[in-house]
Amino acid sequence: MQDTLDRKIVLSSSKAQELAVSEFAGFKAPTSNTTYTPNQFFDVVIPHFSRGVVRIVAYLLRKTLGWCDANGNPQEEQIEVTYSELERKAGVSRDMIRSALDDALTGHLLECVTQGRAKHAHDAGQSASFQLCWSPQPYTTRLEEFRGFFEGEGNRTDIPNEFFDVLIPREPLSVIKVVGAIIRHSIGFQAKHGRRRHQVALSYQQIENYARFGSRSDLAKALRIAMEKNYIVRLESGVFSHEATERRRAVYALRWCDFPNGQKNEPAVHRSEIQTSISPISEPAHQSEIRSSIKTKPGNETGNRPAADSDLYEKLLGFEFSEKTVLKLMREHSREEIEQQIAWLPNRAPARSPAGLLRRSIEQRWPAPMKLRSAEVAGVSENGWEFARCFYAAYGGNRGEPVNEPSPREAQVAEAFVQRLSRATREEGRASEWGRELGTLAREQRNPFPSLTLAIRQLGDGFLVQREKQRLQGQLASITQRREQHEARFREEWLRWLASREAEMRDMRPDDYARFTANRESERARLTADPKPWSLRVLEHFDTDSARLGAFRQFFGLPDFWKWDADFNSQSFKTNS
């Protein structure tokens, strides 16, 4: 039955794809035919990576975690995959596979177990093998701290296989983000008694922030497509009002097909594009306590909080929360989320009720305070921010932790410059080092440049050229060393090839070989008559096999070592290997 399903969803023609999606009747209940998926796939991968990366990682998650033995262990941890397989089954175009794999490896989503090798003469080649990247570090949803999927217990959800088999390989990233956000905040959220949410009230602002949408028009279009194709259903429309008591978020749920779930008919399509920005309003209390009939597979429940969280329990009680509130927060949110919000609380400057502010920040998963996420506000990555901070530290002679914070504009300029440096040097993770080098260079100028923007304008090109020259010199030295090692490895094989050609010439063309022999004797006589020291040194090696075969090669115009290596050696030297 599973094989039949797989054949249906791997149809490659666009007509077949449209037919498969249009006939989608809803997701099956997550009690069987599910993939026990890390929540970080929804919290980290889908919001931050491209569609190609999402599709490749989803494909490996499905193949790895969708097929487990009786003990819950994956039947295959290392997946051998070909480009054609990723193109047909994962839905990634061939010209995008390499860049998507590179991004997944750089982002610590995948690990390459075996490098692929192209087919050559006398070499059948080898497909690359990849596996999911797992990390023993604490669970995190922050991209800059992510070093692999959390390998501990919990923080996973049973996701219907149709999400991986039908939706992800065929839909645009915007639709994947919408459905993924609803999955994460509904069945991916565990309420009381081990139950899973059936539906969730989400505003446009919440979906936009969680899934990192570029514009609200894209979000509205993605919601409309997801409802039209039966991936989700809107149970209640959102209401925008100037009166806080009248505001209400829209309520969404997955479209389930094989059991009644009380889903109402969808409102008219135009109502799905109501753009409400109600994010500060906390979710009605009853939403987290919905008694849904949706349960996940037995054995996957994370259960009550372990005794190791007793210190967190006491810490929350210290904010004068009731015991019931503390248990609710610890049940519905991870330890890392709660501790992060506690650490950020002093930077939020609570005026009257620190406890109330902390509770709202935990329940609504507020981002970092503005002063702590200036780089995010400026639209730059941590690299640009760190480069600018280290520039000013080095300019001021500070070799320790930077003190001053750059402006958002300076961080943007630094981010663009770091990206150019990364392309020129083909290196990542050196933003701090580069910032200090440029700061030191600006400090040493006869007329120093106290502004980062001015320093990049005046010194940036020379700095960039110098770093690129260093890379090229290092690359040339590396190639030269590898060429020498390659020649030392295969030189004897080349000499054996020349010896076989000499034997063929001696047997099949004796007259030509006799001319070569006569030429050698003439050369010997000339060297013997020459009193110069170098002639004597040449005579010492004149009768060695290497000298004779070298003269034979030159006399008959046979290929030198590198020409032979390129034309006849099955393991010829490759510059980019």
- If pLDDT is split at 50, 70 and 90, which confidence band does 518 have? very high
pLDDT, tens digit, 9 for 90 and up, residues 55-86: 999 998 888 887 655 455 555 555 666 777 78
Decide if pLDDT at 504 tops 80.
yes
Angle (nearest 5°) at CA 89 between 47 and 119: 110
Q: What is the pLDDT of residue 42?
A: 93
Distance CA 33, CA 28 (A): 8
pLDDT, tens digit, 9 for 90 and up, residues 378-395: 455 678 888 998 998 988
Distance CA 128, CA 113 (A): 8
pLDDT, tens digit, 9 for 90 and up, residues 128-139: 777 888 888 888
DSSP letters, 84-114, are HHIIIII---HHHHHHHHHHHHHTTSEEEEE
Helix (H, G, I), strand (E, B) or coil at 358: helix
Q: Over range 348-366, report the average pLDDT.
A: 77
Distance CA 273, CA 217 (A): 8
Decide if pLDDT at 349 tops 90.
no
- Mean pLDDT computed over every residue of the chain: 77
Q: What is the pLDDT of residue 373?
A: 53
- If pLDDT is split at 50, 70 and 90, which confidence band does 195 have? low
Q: 514 versus 289: which is more confidently predicted? A: 514
Residue that the structure tokens 């020291």 belong to: 533
- If pLDDT is split at 50, 70 and 90, which confidence band does 324 have? confident
Extract the tokens encoding 429. Answer: 């993770």
End-to-end CA distance of the chain: 44
Q: Over range 545-553, report the average pLDDT.
A: 89
Distance CA 288, CA 291 (A): 9
Decide if pLDDT at 14 tops 70.
no
> Looking at this protein, which amino acid is placed at residue 192?
K
Q: 314 versus 375: which is more confidently predicted? A: 314
Distance CA 186, CA 197 (A): 5
- Residue 355 buriedness (CB in 10 A; 0-12 / 13-18 / 19+): middle
Around Cβ 334, how many Cβ atoms within 10 Å?
18
Comparing C-alpha atoms, which of 231, 209, 229, 234 is closest to residue 219?
209
Of 26-40, 41-55, 277-291, the least confident: 277-291
Q: What is the pLDDT of residue 168?
A: 92
pLDDT, tens digit, 9 for 90 and up, residues 400-424: 888 777 777 888 889 889 999 988 8
Q: Over range 428-441, report the average pLDDT.
A: 90
Of 41-55, 58-72, 484-498, the least confident: 58-72
Q: 351 versus 355: which is more confidently predicted? A: 355
Residue that the structure tokens 């047997």 belong to: 507
Q: Largest alpha-carbon pair distance within the chain?
A: 113
Of 26-40, 338-352, 503-517, the least confident: 338-352
Q: Over range 506-518, report the average pLDDT.
A: 91
Q: 258 versus 431: which is more confidently predicted? A: 431
Q: 335 versus 450: which is more confidently predicted? A: 335
Comparing C-alpha atoms, which of 320, 385, 415, 394 is closest to residue 358?
320
Residue that the structure tokens 């054609």 belong to: 84
Distance CA 35, CA 61 (A): 8
Decide if pLDDT at 266 tops 80.
no
Per-domain residue ranges of the chain: 310-372, 493-568
CB of 41 within 8 A of CB of 57? Answer: yes
pTM higher than 0.85: no
pLDDT, tens digit, 9 for 90 and up, residues 268-301: 333 333 343 333 333 333 333 334 444 444 444 4
Decide if pLDDT at 118 tops 60.
yes
Q: What is the pLDDT of residue 90?
A: 84
Decide if pLDDT at 576 tops 80.
no
Of 36-50, 304-318, 374-388, 555-569, the least confident: 374-388
Q: What is the pLDDT of residue 8?
A: 32
Extract the tokens encoding 308. Answer: 């190791």
Distance CA 132, CA 37 (A): 12
